[in-house]
Amino acid sequence: MGFEGAMPEISLSINGAPVTGTVEGRTLLVEFIRETMKLTGTHTGCDTSQCGACTVHLDGKAVKSCTMLAVQADGAEVTTIEGLAPEGEMNPMQQAFNDHHGLQCGFCTPGMVMRAMALVADNPDPTEAEVRHGLEGNICRCTGYQNIVAAVLDGAKALRG
Amino acid sequence: MEEFTYTRPATADDATGAHSAAEDAMYMAGGQTLIPVLKQGLAMPTDVVDLNRVGDLAGIQVTGDAVTIGAMTRHAVVAASAEVKGAIPALTVLAGGIGDAQVRNRGTMGGSLANNDPSADYPSAVLGLGATVTTNQREIPADEFFDGMFATNLEDGELIKSVTYPIPEKAGYAKFPNPASRYALVGVFVAKTAGGVRVAVTGAGQDGVFRPAEVEAALSADFSAAALDGVTVPADDLMTDMHAAADYRAHLIVVMAKRAVNQANGQG
Amino acid sequence: MSNVKIGESLRRVEDLRFLTGHGRYIDDINLDGQARAVVVRSPYAHATINSIDTSSVADMDGVLLVVTRDDWQREGFKPMPTKSGVKNNKDGTPLSQPDRHALAIDRVRYVGEPVALVVAETLQQAQDAAEALDVDYDELDAVTDPVKALAPGAPQLWDDIPNNLCLDFELGDKDGTEKAFAEADHVVSLDVLNNRVTAVPIEPRGCIASYDASEDKYTLYNASQNVHANRDTFAEVLNIDPAKLDHIAPDVGGGFGAKNSGYPEPPLCLYAAKRLGRPVKWINSRSESFLSDTHGRGQSSRVELALKADGTFMGLRTTTIGGIGAYAWTVGPFTPTGGSARTQGGPYNFPAMYYSGKAVLTNTAPMDPYRGAGRPEATFQTERIVEYAARKLGFDPIELRRKNLMPKEMLPHKTPMGLDVDSGDFPKLFEMTMDMVAKADQAALKAKAEAAGKKYGFAIAPYLECTGGGPKEHAGVTFNKDGSVELAVGTSSTGMGHETSLAQILAAALGIEMGRVKFQQSDTTATPLGGGHGGSRGMEVGGNAVKQAADEIIELAKPIAARLLQSETEEVDFEDGTFKAGASSVSMNDVIEASQDADKLPEGMEPGCLNHSSVFERGIISIPNGVHAAAVAVDTDTGTVEFLGYWVMDDFGTIINPMLADGQVMGGVAQGIGQAFLEDIVYDPDTGQLVTGSLMDYGLPHADEIPNMEIGYYEGEPTKKNPLGVKGAGEAGCVGACPAVVNAVLDALKDDGVTHIDMPLTPQKVWKAIRDKGAHDPKALLGDAA
């Protein structure tokens, strides 16, 4: 039947490492990631699930970690921006964002990169229109998107090898 | 967010049991509407019964004459389903246009229907195709399921298990998104079935999803976009908000109906 | 040899931490023992506060402190000052500045105004207590529209400010302009709305305050784009010595003006931190941000253009009523007055101009700079009336513009608005833009639109703007023994990439490797003064401060080089990172190394002697200018607009890093497009409640709504107003975008009789304009108020 009482204990994998923790039922996944796990690369930019700054991967799929309870990630594999390039290097998508000036203030960037990675995992060779449409869950206020789109197309190419 | 007791049942029976045992419980399906609602304090249940681990609520079954989709099937799964696309392509169009990619990875058909947001997409498919909603208690025909804005005829604690959509001859869905939220400002589902033409409009009606008689009549005579030239929909019972007044919504219903018909006819 | 040059598109050095999740934004910082604060905000647009009962929450779990107006009055804290560039009414009397306290004292005057600060052990506890705090109000009538607020009988926000008029301003030659209008062959007039919007940086505002009793010292981490000015404001409010307040901005997730102002929350948290003896952290939610961040634009204007029969411009007259919110914020009164006056008339040759503007108090959130602050409004007003006149009088809009641009020979020129236009070549940029557009094949674009059943529209919009913001900037350079070079500057990058561009200027000037430069900004301890960010001043003032410091370091280094070269200081020249005297040479790197070694230094010089600080002061503001052009397809069935092309030619003077300049233009254009089509702050006119209080109703542009832009730069006319020759790039994008895209849509609808639609051009408004066959009252906004 699952959890009784207000403080479930959860076990999951974050960026490949096993993690256990006690949460409240109402604890959001983003709160668990940022406050309990101290992984502050995942950001909160709104409270209505629109900006996408909190995007992480849940079992390989992009989700908004502000619109999911932490307890719902029990048993799942979660990847955050910190898990894309654990050695402090940049992966090809991150490198493409750097090459194309696909970020300015950097606040939407982790969510944008996580979404971009999921997008190209589903569609390794997207068109520009597919990229633009595919980023509809992520808002950037700095770049005007042009360089983000260029970065995603280039990152996709690099990831195709 | 207010505190609540969280339960995570593994079966539908456990879910309904947990719901009825609690003082004021809510089911959580994909949570893409409910979690923001909880965050804003617009709902303060004592208990949240999470349906995400209930085993037999997700999945797609296509038979000769119907597509049955489990309540907890996520929008992304429906959108990507070759089987659904082969049977009722308009359903994949609809599911693929809900929210955004991240929302589609969590949001579910059953959650969307139980909430009956007046600007949600799925209610138009259920009503437009004359689907049947199967719950833990009974089967509810589409025409009897919806009961006005954010309301359905589900009993307290009644759980949607699946929806069975009869496969039409053809169908189409066209949505005009709210420029800010991207919810449907007007969404029109059209279906040509052996039993006749059905049209359902979401996003526009003061009482939620509805069937526009004028559009259905015109398309019943001639299932083509041209048949809708000159057809008007009365604005009286349509919503007005800062994004669209009733007259604009009335106009968009006809425009979106034409686009849905063209899509159904393979012309766009 | 230098590895880097000015003009090179260097990749950004700050990107690595942002892309790997290691940026350090305000909410990423947590101090030991910190408490959490939540602001209790007014639910009413206008109400008397009868009482605040703190006993209602004192016993709640975790509650540590509730700060109210009683504390503020007992402590004798001061109101926050306005620093408006225009301080006097046109009759010479001072502007009416109501007291703006961090907490409402007698009345609340907008929804979201801070009424109390609740501090608790945890955020949840603070939120619960904030919700439970019992505040008793008597609601009063509210007015949110500045035109209505000026009218007789309107609700009065302040007992001592008649008609809610904060500032009544004029600029230009009133009589001369009247004469020009009297002698004109044609006069056209149109009321134009510049819709109220807000910046929505994706990172909400927030701060952490702490107090060290042993040293009587405060530290404030704050998502600010202006730490020095804000420090002075907060210190003034709290009656403390500014030297006792370290103000530090960590990585800031966008600003666009909305993180520039002196906000109430930081002084509240500073006070709470002192009271509690522990750090206090406050982070705004997005919903609260809509209520409490500064808004921008929000001007209703009557624009009048006088022309000769052949289309020659004779005069321009603009009358603006601008809301500024319930108080005169940091520079709020300036924007609809002096800020919008200066660039009236754009790059056109106007013999006569007159501007009058009223800054009006309304029961709405504060108004302060939003990217451009006055120049987007002025450009929009000018370009709309030019387009409108062309349509009305039968001129080709492109030809009418071409005919009236100031010829190059006219420069330098002081406009009738007093703007010192020193350099530029407006006709050349116009033709360069038209050449870019021509390559895109207009006929093909039109055919594409029409094949899709849509209407094609095109417009071109020249703009002329000016820089602003703090005129002084500090750059300090420290050479460390490990070879690293610290560069501390008082500017504040909130995403513009100063960590790269300012380091690039230093590295290029000194001829050292970029990798050696360690950049520091937004720290009042690291730099004694700084102007933060605003007014496109980053490269213009900050860049020149770095350049000046570098040039002075080169002079300081020459005696060292002379000694190494066994020459005389006067014989030493410096170029490309190398000191030369006759045939021998020594690199800057070697000279820097020698500067740390007493044995290698000339007599009287000490190790570390190259460490140097410099303050650059701007003389006259610079004049960025350029041309935007847009091609659109309008779906007349739904009123939606799709872009077919977007072109920009900019004269920003010298371009430091073209890739970063592109980023500024692209982002600015996107914000302009957002304002033109989506963004709209709407208050309920009866209750004063904010209707667009979340991203569900306040639309921001998404990736599929912004076109690719083709961007070019003209560097043939660098300004002589500063050593680098830069003119500023940060705001120009949103200055040019609104008129280009709005006029393009109106071009598409010209055969439908549509002459004007007020922004934002939502699908509904476009559709209604078509349906109503353009029926439009050109005096719709101001009526007889102008």
pLDDT band at B201; cut points 50, 70, 90: very high
pLDDT band at A3; cut points 50, 70, 90: low
Using a pLDDT cut of 90, give the percent of chain A over it: 91
CA B68, B74, B75, B80 torsion-angle sign: negative
Q: What is the CATH number of domain B170-264?
A: 3.30.390.50
- The CA-CA-CA angle for residues C572, C574, C575, to 5°, reads 145
Chain A residue nearest residue B80, CA to CA: A122
β-pairing verdict for C710-713 and C352-360: unpaired
Return d(Cα C114, Cα C42) in angstroms, integer: 6
For residue C39, the cross-strand partners are C117
Per-residue pLDDT, averaged over A103-121, amounts to 98
Q: How far apart are the first and last CA of chain A?
A: 46
pLDDT band at A87; cut points 50, 70, 90: confident
Amino acid, res. B126: V
Interface touch B242/C637, C-beta < 8 Å: no
Written as six digits, the tokens of B70 are 């489990």
Which C residues in the span 189-218 are in contact with A, Cβ-Cβ below 8 Å?
Answer: 199-204
Which residues of A are less than 8 Å from B35 in CB distance? Answer: 28, 49, 66-69
Average pLDDT, chain C: 97
Q: How many residues does chain A have?
A: 161
Query: Given a cut of 60, is residue B52 above it in pLDDT?
Result: yes
Nearest CB among A48, A136, A147 relative to C695 is that of A48
Amino acid, res. B217: A
Query: Residue C77 phi/psi, 5° resolution?
Result: -70, 150
Interface touch B180/C767, C-beta < 8 Å: no
Which residues of C are less than 8 Å from A39 in CB distance? Answer: 21
Minimal C-alpha gap between B184 and chain A (Å):
15
Written as six digits, the tokens of C22 are 């290691």
Return d(Cα A55, Cα A23) in angstroms, integer: 20
Query: Given a cut of 90, is residue C373 above it in pLDDT?
Result: yes
Neighbouring residues of C293: CB distance < 8 A, sequence distance ≥ 6: C198, C199, C200, C205, C258, C284, C365
Residue extents of the structural domains in chain B = 1-49, 170-264
Neighbouring residues of A105: CB distance < 8 A, sequence distance ≥ 6: A141, A142, C201, C202, C203, C251, C252, C253, C254, C255, C494, C495
CB C455 within 8 A of CB C633: yes
Using a pLDDT cut of 70, give the percent of chain C over it: 100
Nearest CB among A25, A58, A67 relative to B5 is that of A25
Written as six digits, the tokens of B133 are 């909603």
Written as six digits, the tokens of C380 are 């929009």
Tell me what percent of chain C is helix, strand and coil, each rounded to the nearest 5. 30, 25, 45
Nearest CB among A2, A48, A49 relative to B9 is that of A2
Inter-chain CB pairs, A–B, below 8 Å: 97
Q: What is the CATH number of domain C31-68+103-140+203-253+259-292?
A: 3.90.1170.50
Written as six digits, the tokens of C371 are 């990217």
Mutation site, C14, C19, C499, C694, interface A, largest A CB count within 10 A? C19
Select from C393, C234, C260, C264 the least CA-distant residue to C327: C264
Q: What is the pLDDT of residues C624-642, one digit of tens each?
A: 999 999 999 999 999 999 9
CB C485 within 8 A of CB C550: no
Average pLDDT, chain A: 95
Instruction: Please enumerate, as own/partner, the contacts of A95-98 that have beta carbons within 8 Å and a separation of 24 or more.
Output: A95/A155, A95/A158, A96/A151, A96/A152, A96/A154, A96/A155, A96/A158, A97/A148, A97/A151, A97/A155, A97/C15, A97/C19, A98/C11, A98/C12, A98/C15, A98/C16, A98/C19
pLDDT band at A89; cut points 50, 70, 90: confident
Secondary structure tally for chain B: helices H, strands E: 11, 11
Minimal C-alpha gap between C30 and chain A (Å):
10
Interface touch B244/C691, C-beta < 8 Å: no
β-pairing verdict for C573-575 and C517-521: unpaired
Interface touch C695/A46, C-beta < 8 Å: yes
Minimal C-alpha gap between A160 and chain C (Å):
20
pLDDT of residue A2: 53
Per-residue pLDDT, averaged over C693-711, amounts to 97
Residue extents of the structural domains in chain C = 15-22+471-617, 31-68+103-140+203-253+259-292, 295-467+621-771
Q: Is A91 on the interface with B (CB under 8 A)?
A: no
pLDDT of residue C784: 87
Per-residue pLDDT, averaged over B239-244, amounts to 96
Per-residue pLDDT, averaged over C87-106, amounts to 97
pLDDT of residue A85: 87
Per-residue pLDDT, averaged over C312-319, amounts to 98
Which residues of A are less than 8 Å from C250 in CB distance? Answer: none
Q: What is the pLDDT of residues A34-68, one digit of tens each?
A: 999 999 999 999 999 999 999 999 999 999 999 99
Interface touch C19/A107, C-beta < 8 Å: no
Instruction: Please enumerate, as own/partner, the contacts of C745-748 that have beta carbons within 8 Å and a separation of 24 or more.
Output: C745/C457, C745/C632, C745/C634, C745/C641, C746/C387, C746/C391, C746/C457, C746/C459, C747/C387, C747/C397, C747/C457, C747/C458, C747/C459, C748/C455, C748/C456, C748/C457, C748/C632, C748/C633, C748/C634
Return d(Cα A86, Cα A98) in angstroms, integer: 17
Looking up tokens 């020759």 gives: C725
pLDDT band at C1; cut points 50, 70, 90: very low
Neighbouring residues of A76: CB distance < 8 A, sequence distance ≥ 6: A12, A13, A58, A59
DSSP string covering C469-498: S-SEEEEEEEE-TTS-EEEEES---SSS-H
Interface touch A45/C204, C-beta < 8 Å: yes
Mutation site, B2, B4, B6, B117, interface A, largest A CB count within 10 A? B6
Nearest CB among B14, B32, B48 relative to A25 is that of B48
Using a pLDDT cut of 90, give the percent of chain C over it: 98
Per-residue pLDDT, averaged over C543-556, amounts to 98
Provide the CATH topology of domain B1-49: 3.30.43
Query: Given a cut of 80, is residue C579 above it in pLDDT?
Result: yes
Which residues of A are less than 8 Å from B8 in CB distance? Answer: 1-3, 71
Nearest CB among C663, C671, C733 relative to A104 is that of C663
pLDDT band at C138; cut points 50, 70, 90: very high
C31-68+103-140+203-253+259-292 shares the fold of C15-22+471-617: no
Nearest CB among A84, A94, A106 relative to C23 is that of A106
The full set of domains in chain A, from first to last, is: 9-83 (3.10.20.30), 92-160 (1.10.150.120)
Which element (helix H / strand E) includes C738?
helix C732-748
Per-residue pLDDT, averaged over C530-559, amounts to 96
pLDDT of residue C8: 97
Q: How many residues does chain B have?
A: 268
Which residues of B are less than 8 Å from A2 in CB distance? Answer: 6-10, 50, 53
Q: Is the pTM of this model over 0.95?
A: yes
Written as six digits, the tokens of C106 are 């007698």
Q: Does domain C15-22+471-617 have CATH number 3.30.365.10?
A: yes
Minimal C-alpha gap between A67 and chain C (Å):
15
For residue C521, the cross-strand partners are C489
Q: ipTM more than 0.90?
A: yes
Select from B137, C548, B139 the least CA-distant residue to B126: B139
CATH of C295-467+621-771, one of 3.40.50.740, 3.30.365.10, 3.20.20.70, 3.30.70.260: 3.30.365.10
For residue C193, the cross-strand partners are C300
Nearest CB among A45, A80, A104 relative to C497 is that of A104
Exposure pattern of C736-766 as b/e (b: 16+ CB <10 Å)? bbbbbbbbbbbbbbeebebbbbbbbbbbbbb
SS (H, E, C) C316-354: EEEEEEEECCCCCCCCHHHHHHHHHHCCCCCCECCCEEE
Select from B187, B192, B217 the least CA-distant residue to B88: B192
Return d(Cα B54, Cα A1) in angstroms, integer: 10
Neighbouring residues of C135: CB distance < 8 A, sequence distance ≥ 6: C40, C49, C51, C52, C53, C115, C116
Which of B103-112, C383-392, C530-539, C705-714 shows the lowest per-residue confidence on average (mean pLDDT)?
C530-539
Which C residues in the span 725-784 are in contact with B, Cβ-Cβ below 8 Å?
Answer: 762-764, 767-768, 771
CB C735 within 8 A of CB C379: yes
Q: What is the pLDDT of residues B80-91, one digit of tens each?
A: 999 999 999 999
Q: What is the pLDDT of residues C152-190, one digit of tens each?
A: 999 999 999 999 999 999 999 999 999 999 999 999 999
CB C348 within 8 A of CB C705: no
Select from C689, C635, C567, C729 the least CA-distant residue to C43: C689
Q: What is the pLDDT of residues C436-483, one digit of tens each?
A: 999 999 999 999 999 999 999 999 999 999 999 999 999 999 999 999
